[in-house]
Structure 1
Amino acid sequence: MPSCPLRVAVVCRSNVNRSMEAHSILRKRGFRVQSFGVGSRVKLPGRSSNRPVIYDFSTTYKRMYEDLCRKDRECYRRNGILYLLGRNDRIKPRPERFQECSDPFDVIFTC
């Protein structure tokens, strides 16, 4: 690893699944990494495929987790969303939008 690691950004639509998994892996390997979404809102799979659960980017992962537990804990545990939100909460408090970041990056991965 170089003495001054690359500044890496990882971007996906909602900053919940792909970008956060890459964030976790890259951080464990010593990279300076930030992850982002580019959507207007965070969309998570709902109880049916045509009814996603939608949150503002200002909503914390913990709050999303608690809200989904109130709605249908077993459904969201089974489809893995609660696991993703728990992991994300251990990495950072809430999703972030790439459009609102002015930090410079050496590499930007899109997922």
Structure 2
Amino acid sequence: AGKLMLLSVIVWHGTMVAFAASHSFYLSLSIQLLTGMAFSSTQVMMLTVVLRTTLPEFRGRIMGLRSMAIYSFTFGSMNSGAIAGAWGAPLAANINAAIGIALVGALALFTPKLRRA
């Protein structure tokens, strides 16, 4: 599940780059469908890894922390909106994608236990 999660994060952010470069409505719509599927896969795989690697007596607490982390997406979206307003939506999407891919790359590199989860 760990490798699938890493792959789905890369696909999710990769589709953001493709969406930013697209000038066709129907192509953009198709890319957004793939983006949503990759995002959903990421969330499912993340939860799977968390629950598989957490001791049963701590799962409730960990789920609470995960819920708090999901709520923080709003703050990232506000930052993306500010970047899009200042420099344009394609650049904001590319910055988000680059940061996401870099962070998941670092995570994969420095946490071998995650790859084996």
Considering the TM-score relative to the shorter chain, is it more than 0.5?
Answer: no
Task: Report the TM-score when normalising by structure 2.
Answer: 0.27
Instruction: Identify, as 1 or 2, the structure richer in helix.
Output: 2
Higher normalized contact order (CA 8 Å, seq sep 6+, divided by chain length): 2
Q: Which has the larger radius of gyration?
A: 2
Please give the TM-score of this superposition, normalised by the length of structure 1: 0.28
